[in-house]
């Protein structure tokens, strides 16, 4: 027995060492303390994305071979099939389609919008796009005097006496003094979303909306509207900012103007579609999910390259980059390509409902839906207690992101992941530089050639790095 003593003492010491190492490792996870190995793996993630990334060629195919992908369209159907086939080639643990019924709105024939009978200009056309979800004018079109408003107060002051039988022209611009362009967008987009019904309440027969952009150009910007079922649905179109400036100047010079509008858009019966999902199963907590995604649908003009083909292909590449870096996640890492963000959010809602039905817990969700420009950081949203706890932890992890120019802010995430908020996990929005985003947003100019390869790849790497740290250190 005496001969066993040294071996026993060695076993005790070895066991104690293992306990100490395990305890320190768990404390590191719990405290979120950055390590040299973290910095090394993040460097590996960026190297992989910048030398062997797939998001750019994937986006090229999605943009040029499939094109725009409005919910219910043939383009959306092709995009679902193709992105699933790409995920199938990656050797993920699971790839599947999640059914969802979506609205099916069609634009129909090209819009005709023109000023008629101007003393100075005679008759002239204005570049226009019907707003998504708008009713059409009918085959004969509509013609009426235009009344310009810059605010809801002006609209209400005009009321029925000044509006009945006319076309309301909403001409409130985005606030150019706002450095955060999404804030400027939020300050103007309400007239696009609610303008038709608020004008119809006073008897208007149609609306024109200044395109929601800081650019002064001839590209009209479409986007969804929301009808109030308590009032008549009237046709609504966006006109380019140059057209809006010309019409506004004409009203000042001549006192009045008459506009003719003809649109052929209509809402068809709902159509079946899918969210596209692929995942790497977690080795320790497979029931806890970290989702990363974008929306696969786009408006029916341009390629939908920045909005949101970029976010979709970046999210796909996040899984591939982590795979190629040899990383096996503790939690399940899932890529979700949502359908119908643009005019219904059906995909995001369906995904959250299915996750709740299956008892899945989403530890975190990251959405890329702000374009494929240079990375600036991430914004975070969720339960206040969760956010507070996360920002305490991120102080020790933030130095890992400084070499890549990334910062972290509170507030905002993404529309598609918003329905997951009730799970009390962390919601994050990828935040690239947004100064050029609203030049292209919802227009025919949102094409593949506007996307920079390196900027797109840096975004994918930044998202993969955040997912890695969320997976390793949790909340």
The label of the residue with tokens 């008897």 reads 203
Question: Considering 111, 148, 341, 367, which one is annotated as catalytic?
Answer: 341
Angstrom CA distances, 18 to 24, 32, 36, stand at 10, 21, 21
3-state helix, strand, coil in the chain (%, to 5): 40, 25, 35
The label of the residue with tokens 């009045």 reads 256
Ranges of beta strands (E only) in 281-425 are 285-295, 331-338, 361-367, 375-382, 407-410
Average pLDDT of the segment spanning 162-173: 98
CA-CA distance, 113 to 428, in Å (whole number)? 40
pLDDT at 13: 44
pLDDT in tens, 70-92: 999 999 999 999 999 999 999 99
CA-CA distance, 294 to 85, in Å (whole number)? 17
Q: Is the pLDDT of residue 4 over 60?
A: no
pLDDT in tens, 21-72: 333 344 444 445 678 999 999 999 999 999 999 999 999 999 999 999 999 9
pLDDT in tens, 360-411: 999 999 999 999 999 999 999 999 999 999 999 888 888 999 999 999 999 9
Task: Tell me what the pLDDT averaged over the chain comes to.
Answer: 93
Q: Quick one: how far is CA 227 from the chain centroid?
A: 22
pLDDT at 33: 63
C-beta separation of 324 from 52 below 8 A = yes
Q: Which domains does the chain have, with CATH numbers?
A: 35-105+269-473 (3.40.630.10), 111-264 (3.50.30.30)
C-beta separation of 133 from 225 below 8 A = yes
CA-CA distance, 9 to 6, in Å (whole number)? 5
Q: Does 279 participate in catalysis according to the annotation?
A: no
pLDDT at 396: 87
User: What pairs with residue 168 in β-bridges?
Assistant: 147, 207
pLDDT in tens, 423-456: 999 999 999 999 999 999 999 999 999 999 999 9
Encode 285-313: b = buried (16+ Cβ within 10 Å), e = exposed. Answer: eeebbbbbbbbbbbbbbbbbbbbbbbbbb
pLDDT at 19: 37
Q: Is residue 1 very low, low, confident or very high in pLDDT (cuts 50, 70, 90)?
A: very low
Closest CA to 232 of 288, 163, 280: 163
CA-CA distance, 56 to 49, in Å (whole number)? 10
Residue 273 is given by DSSP the state E
pLDDT in tens, 299-337: 999 999 999 999 999 999 999 999 999 999 999 999 999
pLDDT in tens, 255-300: 999 999 999 999 999 999 999 999 999 999 999 999 999 999 999 9
């Amino acid at each position: 027995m005496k001969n066993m003593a040294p071996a026993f003492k060695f076993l005790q010491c070895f066991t104690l060492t293992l306990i100490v190492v395990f305890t320190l490792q768990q404390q590191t996870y719990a405290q979120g303390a950055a390590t040299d190995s973290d910095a090394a793996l993040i460097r590996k993630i960026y190297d992989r994305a910048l030398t062997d990334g797939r998001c750019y060629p994937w986006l090229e195919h999605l943009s040029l071979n499939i094109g725009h992908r409005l919910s219910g369209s043939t383009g959306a159907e092709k995009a679902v099939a193709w992105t699933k086939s790409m995920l199938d080639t990656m050797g993920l643990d699971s790839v599947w389609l999640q059914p969802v019924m979506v609205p099916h709105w069609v634009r129909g024939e090209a819009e005709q919008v023109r000023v008629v009978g101007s003393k100075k200009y005679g008759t002239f056309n204005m570049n226009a796009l019907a707003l998504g979800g708008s009713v059409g004018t009918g085959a004969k079109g509509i013609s009426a005097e235009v009344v310009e408003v810059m605010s809801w107060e002006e609209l209400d002051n005009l009321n029925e006496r000044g509006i009945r039988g006319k076309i309301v022209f909403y001409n409130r611009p985005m606030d150019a003094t706002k450095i955060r362009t999404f804030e400027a967008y939020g300050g103007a987009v309400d007239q696009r979303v609610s303008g038709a019904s608020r004008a119809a309440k006073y008897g208007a027969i149609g609306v024109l909306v200044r395109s929601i952009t800081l650019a002064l150009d001839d590209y009209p910007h479409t986007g969804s509207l929301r009808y109030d079922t308590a009032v008549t649905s009237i046709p609504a179109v966006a006109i380019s900012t140059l057209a809006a400036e010309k019409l506004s100047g004409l009203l000042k010079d001549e006192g009045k103007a008459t506009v003719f509008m003809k649109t052929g858009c209509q809402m068809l019966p709902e159509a079946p579609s899918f969210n596209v999902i692929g995942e790497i199963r977690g080795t320790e907590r497979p029931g806890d999910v970290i989702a990363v995604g974008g929306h696969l649908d786009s408006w029916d003009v341009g390629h939908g390259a920045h909005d949101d083909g970029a976010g979709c292909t970046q999210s796909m590449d996040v899984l591939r980059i982590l795979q190629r870096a040899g990383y096996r996640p503790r939690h399940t890492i899932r890529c979700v390509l949502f359908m119908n963000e643009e005019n219904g959010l059906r995909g995001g809602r369906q995904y959250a409902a299915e996750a709740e039905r299956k008892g899945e817990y989403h530890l975190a969700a990251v959405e890329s839906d702000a374009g494929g420009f240079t990375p600036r950081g991430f914004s975070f949203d969720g339960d206040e207690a969760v956010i507070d706890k996360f920002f305490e932890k991120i102080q020790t992890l933030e130095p890992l992101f400084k070499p890549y120019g990334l910062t972290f802010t509170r507030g905002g995430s993404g529309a598609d992941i918003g329905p997951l908020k009730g799970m009390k996990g962390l919601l994050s929005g990828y935040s690239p530089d947004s100064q050029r985003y609203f030049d292209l947003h919802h227009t025919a100019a949102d094409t593949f050639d506007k996307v920079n390869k390196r900027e797109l790849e840096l975004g994918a790497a930044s998202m993969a790095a955040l997912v890695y740290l969320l997976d390793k250190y949790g909340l």
